[in-house]
Structure 1
Amino acid sequence: MRVGYTSVVGSDDIEMHVLPFGHDEAGRRGLTGAGTIAALATRSGDELTQRCPRLAELLPGLRAALAVQRAEQPPTRVRLDQLDADERGLLADILGEGEVSGIVALPDRRVAQIQESVFAGLWRVRIEGEGGAPALDYLEIGAIPEIAARAAQDFPAADITIGEPPEGAMNVMPVLAEIRERMAAHRAGAASHVINFTLLPMNPADMAHLTATLGNGPIQLYSRGYGSCRVLATGARHVWSVQYLNAMDTPILDTIEVGDAPTAVRAADEDFQDSAERLGEIIEAYFA
């Protein structure tokens, strides 16, 4: 299934045009694992601490928060407004860009951009400024940023209206009935229910009716971990379109998940511990 955002005259749908993190930081480029170490290795620890004292104080706090975070706990937010431009730039080098990125449409028509760092479970969140105001930019430690979790709960409808089947429909009506039943039964923290369209015969009329019934949601996420994965919230609460893609961006596994945010875009308990250890190695090597 494929849902997305469009811009329609007289509609509340939103057309997404989101610039990447750091687009307004001239000359900067995104770094990952090896690039982070290469950037830091060109400067001595003493120089880094002297030029970026507030960042040097911030990093141990991030490591400590990662070490105690658990997937089921609420995220921990870390403000960045105390950092100057040099410190923000170095922080961007250290964080790099991890596997998961995406956007969240907010009720006031602003857009939040989220990017997981190379330290799984440590996210950077940027929200468009309103009326020319500076963007809100902060870090968050958790399974998934709170702004995405809240949008998935608050924006979509709690129920769906199942209309008459379209001409030529095969299986869409029992699928919609199953989705509706699972929506009502789902409880936070419970395992997701998966409907696999790769194994279930659904013709174009089925898919068109399914898409029209579920509608568009406020969240688009993309994971480039062990194989690419596209995760889109629908307009029905707890209902997600999850597609696993090949190298040509062609879906090889097309599913609906009814539940909390899919595991493909969530950090797990072991991720936090691993990230704390790896961030600790950078702190000890370049800031101790």
Structure 2
Amino acid sequence: MKPFPIPVVGLGPGSQPEDPDLSYMPLPREIEGFDMPYLPTAEEVTNLAAAKQVMADLITALKAYDGDASQYPVLDITHLDSENRALINQLLGEGEVSAMTKPVAGGELRIQESVFAGIWRVLEEDGQGNVIADRIEACPIPHQVWQEAQAFGRAEAVMPDPGNVPLMNAGYVMQEIAAKLSQPLGMEPHIINFSLLPMSPEDMAYIDSCLGGGNSGVFSRGYGKCRVMSTALKNVWKVQYFNGMNSILLDTIEITRIPEVALASMEDLEDSLLRLEEAYEWLTGE
């Protein structure tokens, strides 16, 4: 996984070493809590009016946000010069969740949560890896993650004949998934917990072949390490939780729009609003 081209990490005294961004396949080694990024003094940023205006606009929009999963504050900062962009990077820092999706129309979206939960940096790239858009989005998770997964996924499960491969429960699991896909998506996720089922390696290989690979992934290191990957089936996600040794603790399938573990809550966003206001007051010397 190539590195996030914009260093969304705190700078200056007290900042942490930079870790690889958007590496949801390699597992991070530790859990991190909230650390307010290093804030320059108002005198140091007197000439960076554009970045301060972006922060003011973000705070205003976040105050009016009602929690809608698709309609939420989006600020395009593609036009910012390098100095103003550096200040935005410095203010937002790097949070606990990263994501990636490959839209069906082409290109790639690489997403990094800031240290303010629910405030995301979204980089849109073309097919050659060139950044064509840079956005700040305030929401549970950028909607492209699950919308593109839905657009990519098949509506029906295909279960090929396993041939001479001995299976224990894979057939029953796939029948359960197929039955759920034939029904309207419910408000609550339907969860299949492989950790509680007698599953052979052949079972898991067969299920993986039936599910196929998706185009979206989320990695969270907040309340323990968790990897959320879409599959080639619409609204079917693989969710795995890991311990400190990067061994799987819980292995599940969730049939839902997007697993809740990947989402920031409204309480997170409300707390982030308060912290953003504190940071803005520091910048403006108020």
2:59 counterpart (46, 56, 63): 63
CA 1:130/1:203 → structure 2, altered by over 3 Å: closer, same or farther? closer
- Listed as ranges, the matches of 1:79-228 within 5 Å are 79-130=76-127, 133-166=130-163, 167-187=165-185, 190-228=187-225
CA 1:141/1:23 → structure 2, altered by over 3 Å: closer, same or farther? closer
**1:22 alignment partner in structure 2:** 6
CA 1:71/1:260 → structure 2, altered by over 3 Å: closer, same or farther? farther
RMSD: 2.4
Question: Matches of 1:245 and 1:69 in 2, distance apart?
Answer: 33
Q: Could you report, residue by residue, the CA deviation over 1:225-255 in whole angstroms, capped at 9, with x for unpaired residues?
A: 0100000000000000000001121110000
Question: Matches of 1:93 and 1:258 in 2, distance apart?
Answer: 37
1:59 Cα offset (Å) = 0.8
Which amino acid letter does the alignment assign opposite residue 272 of structure 2? Answer: S
CA 1:24/1:248 → structure 2, altered by over 3 Å: closer, same or farther? closer
Question: Matches of 1:99 and 1:134 in 2, distance apart?
Answer: 23
1:23 Cα offset (Å) = 5.8
Question: Matches of 2:69 and 2:232 in 1, distance apart?
Answer: 26
1:89 Cα offset (Å) = 0.8
Q: Could you report, residue by residue, the CA deviation over 1:155-178 in whole angstroms, capped at 9, with x for unpaired residues?
A: 111111122245210101111111
Question: Matches of 1:251 and 1:204 in 2, distance apart?
Answer: 15
Percent of aligned pairs with the same amino acid: 34
1:67 Cα offset (Å) = 2.8
Question: Matches of 1:67 and 1:59 in 2, distance apart?
Answer: 12
**1:238 alignment partner in structure 2:** 235
For the 8 Å contact 1:30–1:97, the answer to whether it is kept is: no
Question: Matches of 1:180 and 1:70 in 2, distance apart?
Answer: 35
Q: Could you report, residue by residue, the CA deviation over 1:239-276 in whole angstroms, capped at 9, with x for unpaired residues?
A: 00000001121110000000011111111111111111
Question: Matches of 2:222 and 2:128 in 1, distance apart?
Answer: 36
Give the secondary-structure state (helix, strand or coil) at the position aligned to 2:161.
coil
Q: Could you report, residue by residue, the CA deviation over 1:170-219 in whole angstroms, capped at 9, with x for unpaired residues?
A: 1011111111122232437x111111000011101111110001100001
For the 8 Å contact 1:125–1:137, the answer to whether it is kept is: yes
For the 8 Å contact 1:71–1:267, the answer to whether it is kept is: no
Return 5+ residue gaps in structure 2 as ranges: 20-32
Taking structure 1 as the reference length, the TM-score comes to 0.84
Question: Matches of 2:214 and 2:124 in 1, distance apart?
Answer: 18
Question: Matches of 1:113 and 1:253 in 2, distance apart?
Answer: 26
CA 1:23/1:45 → structure 2, altered by over 3 Å: closer, same or farther? closer
Question: Matches of 2:160 and 2:265 in 1, distance apart?
Answer: 39
Give the secondary-structure state (helix, strand or coil) at the position aligned to 2:196.
coil
Give the secondary-structure state (helix, strand or coil) at the position aligned to 1:255.
strand
For the 8 Å contact 1:66–1:276, the answer to whether it is kept is: yes
Question: Matches of 1:126 and 1:132 in 2, distance apart?
Answer: 10
Question: Matches of 2:220 and 2:128 in 1, distance apart?
Answer: 32
Give the secondary-structure state (helix, strand or coil) at the position aligned to 1:51.
coil
Return 5+ residue gaps in structure 1 as ranges: 1-16
For the 8 Å contact 1:191–1:259, the answer to whether it is kept is: yes
Which amino acid letter does the alignment assign opposite residue 183 of structure 2? Answer: A
1:143 Cα offset (Å) = 1.4
1:131 Cα offset (Å) = 5.0
1:223 Cα offset (Å) = 0.1
Which amino acid letter does the alignment assign opposite residue 57 of structure 1? Answer: Q
Runs of 4+ in 1 over 6 A off after TM superposition: none
Taking structure 2 as the reference length, the TM-score comes to 0.85
